Amino acid sequence: MRYRLLLGIAVLLMFTPTFLYFAGPLRAPLTFEGDRVVELKAREVEGRYVPIEDAQSTDYELREFIIPGQHRPVRVTGTVFDAADEKRRIARAAVKLKAQGLELQKETSEQGQFGLDLPPGRYALEISAPGYQTYAQEYVVEHSTEPIPAHPVEYAWRFVELPVAMERIPAP
């Protein structure tokens, strides 16, 4: 019985920091290999803080920013729609990304949207849906050195939007 109690305490201790991190009290910026967290002069623009370079400015706050390392993923999002009607989104289209022997598969949402976090590199994107020609395109996800806000944590990403127009298969 004593060993079970000790094991239970050890498991509780192992999960406590993880819970606190996700619950909020210890929310630290999400960093990846090579990232640097720095304080920069920033000004609020449309609800987000952006770094300023004006050395004379007195209208600023010091805010934490992440200077991305070369391995930091980029949040790639896309919207798949009918080429003949941009308002018609294609739901449940199969999205495949291939790179260096790795293959990722997703499905578009009811609004025709998909999203993936990808490290910089070259990717072959293939999207297919019943009644549409398969869309195939190569994309390069570029490494960025542009500072990104460290807080709130959900803003600590660089985004790339891919609009994808799919052609209908012609009727025979």
pLDDT tens track for 38-61: 787 787 877 777 777 776 777 787
Looking at residue 89, which CATH number applies to its domain? Answer: 2.60.40.1120
Calpha distance 15→31 (Å, rounded): 21
DSSP 72-103: --EEEEEEEEETTEEEEE-TT-EEEEEETTEE
Q: Which pair of tokens denotes residue 88?
A: 């018609």
Whether the full predicted model's pTM is greater than 0.75, yes or no, is: no
Does 44 fall in a domain? Answer: no
Tokens of 85: 């009607």
Tell me, yes or no, whether 15 and 93 share the same domain: no
Q: Are 19 and 78 contained in the same domain?
A: no
Q: What was the pLDDT predicted at 105?
A: 92
Q: Which residues of 104-127 are buried (b: 16+ CB within 10 A; e: fewer)?
A: eeeebeeebebebebeeeebebbb
For residues 122 and 102, the model is more confident at 122
Is 50 a member of any domain?
A: no
Which of 128, 122, 114 lies closest to 143 in space, CA to CA?
A: 122
Q: Count structural domains, the chain.
A: 2
In a domain, 46, yes or no: no
Lowest mean pLDDT among 99-103, 124-128, 161-165: 161-165
Residue 34 lies in a domain: no
Residue 63 forms part of a structural domain: no
User: pLDDT grade, residue 131 (50/70/90)?
Assistant: very high
